[in-house]
Each structure stands twice: as C-alpha cells, then as structure tokens.
Structure 1
C-alpha cells in the first residue's frame, strides 16, 4: 500500500468517526449539543482537523443525512422483501419507514428537518437520497400504478408517512393508534 493510499484510508476513517460521533451526540442530547468543540473533544482531534473534513456543522448534518438515507433505503427494501403480496409489502414499507423515524430521531431530523445543504428532487440530489426515494417507489409497486404517476403517488405516500412520523414524535398523535393509522393509510391510498 502506498503512502497516499494509507493517508486516504486514514482520512476516510476520520470522516466516519466524525459523522458517527456527531450522530451519537445528536441522538443522546439533540443537534444543538453537536458543536465542533464538543466533537473535537470527543474524538480527540483538534477543531482544525474537523474543518479539514467538513466546513462546519451544516456539512456534518448533511453527511449524517446521507448515511441515514442509505440505512433507510436498506430497511425499506428489507421490509418489502420479507412481505408476501402487494398489500403486505405496502404495509411493511409503511411500518419500516415509521420504525426508522422512531428509532433514529436525530438522523431523521438531519434527513428532513435540518439544513444539511442537500438538494431534494433535483438533478443534483445526492444518490443516497435518490435511492431512499427509489426504495419507497419500489415498495409501493402496483399501488403506485393506480392511474397516477408512480413518482407522484410515492411523494403523496411519503408525505403521509412523514406527517405521521413527525406528529407522533411531537406528541400530537397518540402512539396507541399507530397501527390503525398505518392500516387506514394503506386502505385509502394503496387501493390494493
């Protein structure tokens, strides 16, 4: 291995450490607690080292969002792979989405609430975000082909899931009816 390859591997390792640590702090204490000073102390590197990888917190949030999008896409695909039949796939997809949002609140915030400098629904949208949307589209399958444009149908279904996730987390919807909401969403939108 060349010196250059070793340096690149070390740099990539530092970036993964920075992102993982930011995510850990955010999940424990919220995004307000994620500062370059706190990150530098936790990973035992200087603040200039952090800035050599990321221009600031916004880029770190973006990196966490991209990592989260890749994880969400994998979770969505795994859920539909285990389901039998179109209706079961759509139900599993909805449950997996809501479960991801509940288990990873800081990551979900990085993906959809905070400004990580990422473009959505544009040509320069990063691949992990496109792939998460593609996983939703794939999971909806036949339901997304009920006469509407599949991407448009997927956007509406996603918006409904996002609303459920956000309102439940904020305590605006009682958690006890979560499963009934999923069934209602599938019954009304999927039309399978």
Structure 2
C-alpha cells in the first residue's frame, strides 16, 4: 500500500482528491486494480455461452447446444499464464499491455467481445476512483488478523468481514461540501 500511496502523493499531492483525469498518470494504481481483479474477480464464472453448432476448442469436441462457462477465477490463478499466480504482485502489470477490457484471455474480469459487461467502462472508472481516493486519503490498519478466505456464490466475497481502521492523511476540508 505504501508504494501506491507514494505514487498518489507524488501525482495528486495533498490538496485534492483523485479525479478521473488523473488515472492515466497513475500506472501503479492501474496495476493494483488489474492484480486485484485477477486474483479476486467479482464474478467467478462469466455468463454462460451456448454452442450454436458443434465445434472444437483446444482439442475438445463441443457438441451443438452445449452450455459452457468461463471460469475467470481459475484463469486468474493459472500457473501456465501467471508466474507465482497466488501472489499479489501488481508490478507484473507495469511492463505489460494486458488490459481489463477483454482483449487478453489471461484477464477477463468483465468478459469479452459482444457479451462483455455493459458496465465495463463505468465499473473500471469507479474502481480506480474509489480505490485511489481511499488509499490516497487514508492510512489503513487492520483491527484484527486479515482472513482472505473467499465465500463462493454468484459473486465472490470474503467469508469473514474485513475490519480496518482508517486515519485521515489529507485535510478534512477536502470532504466538506461547498455551500
């Protein structure tokens, strides 16, 4: 978190919050978001697809009308696609052109092509802004030991709540509404 806070402090300073126009100048923030979505996609399985006709995929015969699911959770942890796949290492994306928009099979948190999430652009933008501002504006401390055990369902979430204490790093006036 310190590396991300350093980048935010260098680019944003301490007199304002992160804005959408800043994200292009925050490569480590973008890398942290990619790495988070690689390891912890919101949806572990993408919307199912049905084969309209018999086809072959990677040597497997897929009969017509077969329903197929893309397991993005497993893809994000695939050791043939990622070095040290279970390690949270955002730097892997700093010299990589892999994006979140479904152009690279290794990272498909929003799906790909015509069936990609219609809220992809808004989702990516909001995650960058929220994470950027939470990390920029606050120092975070775990109140208890962090348990990253996931609970699977339609969406992935932590099995146990994450409890953290936030301490303000920027002037309080940045959060006051103008009247």
TM-score range with shorter-chain normalisation? Answer: under 0.3
Q: If the length of structure 2 is used for normalisation, what is the TM-score?
A: 0.27
Q: If the length of structure 1 is used for normalisation, what is the TM-score?
A: 0.26
Which structure shows the higher helix fraction? 1
